[in-house]
Structure formats: structure tokens, C-alpha cells
């Protein structure tokens, strides 16, 4: 697992698997949701201030994507 994987890289990676970010409105804060065409969802918090993903987030996404 990389220790410097950035949130923007995660957005691009999920896009390669046909996931799109669902806008949850002004009150969602840093919480984001990504959904693909099959209805599979990925929920996460945007890491801040650095934008570097936490290790547990990478593991969760890896499991969801079956990698």
C-alpha cells in the first residue's frame, strides 16, 4: 500500500472503474459517495488538509474493486 496516495488519484482510479462522484449537497462536508453503473457504492471522507488517503481507506477501496 502506498503511503502517499492522494485523494485526486483515488478519484481518477475510481473513474477508471466507471465510478462517478455523487454530489450530496452543501451539508455533506468532506463526506463523498461514488457510485458505478451497477449500483456499487464507495463512501469516504476527503482527507484534509494534505489530501493523502488513510491506509484503511485504501484497503476498503481495494476490497470493493476486488483488487
Per-residue pLDDT tens digits for 25-60:
665 668 889 999 999 999 988 888 889 999 999 999
Residue with cell 488513510: 54
Report the pLDDT value the prediction gives residue 12, as an integer from 0 to 100.
95
Instruction: Please tell me whether the overall predicted TM-score, pTM, comes out greater than 0.85 for this model.
Output: no
Is residue 7 within 8 A of residue 47, CB to CB? The reply is: yes
The SS3 call for residue 42 is strand
User: How far apart are alpha carbons 9 and 40 in whole angstroms?
Assistant: 19
For residue 37, the 8-state DSSP code is T
The pLDDT assigned to 26 comes to 63
Q: Provide the 8-state DSSP code for 52.
A: B
Amino acid at each position: 500500500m502506498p503511503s502517499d496516495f492522494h485523494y485526486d488519484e483515488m478519484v481518477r482510479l475510481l473513474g477508471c472503474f466507471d465510478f462517478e462522484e455523487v454530489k450530496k449537497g452543501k451539508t455533506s462536508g468532506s463526506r463523498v459517495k461514488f457510485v458505478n453503473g451497477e449500483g456499487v457504492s464507495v463512501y469516504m471522507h476527503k482527507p484534509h488538509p494534505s489530501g493523502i488517503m488513510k491506509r484503511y481507506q485504501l484497503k476498503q477501496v481495494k476490497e470493493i474493486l476486488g483488487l
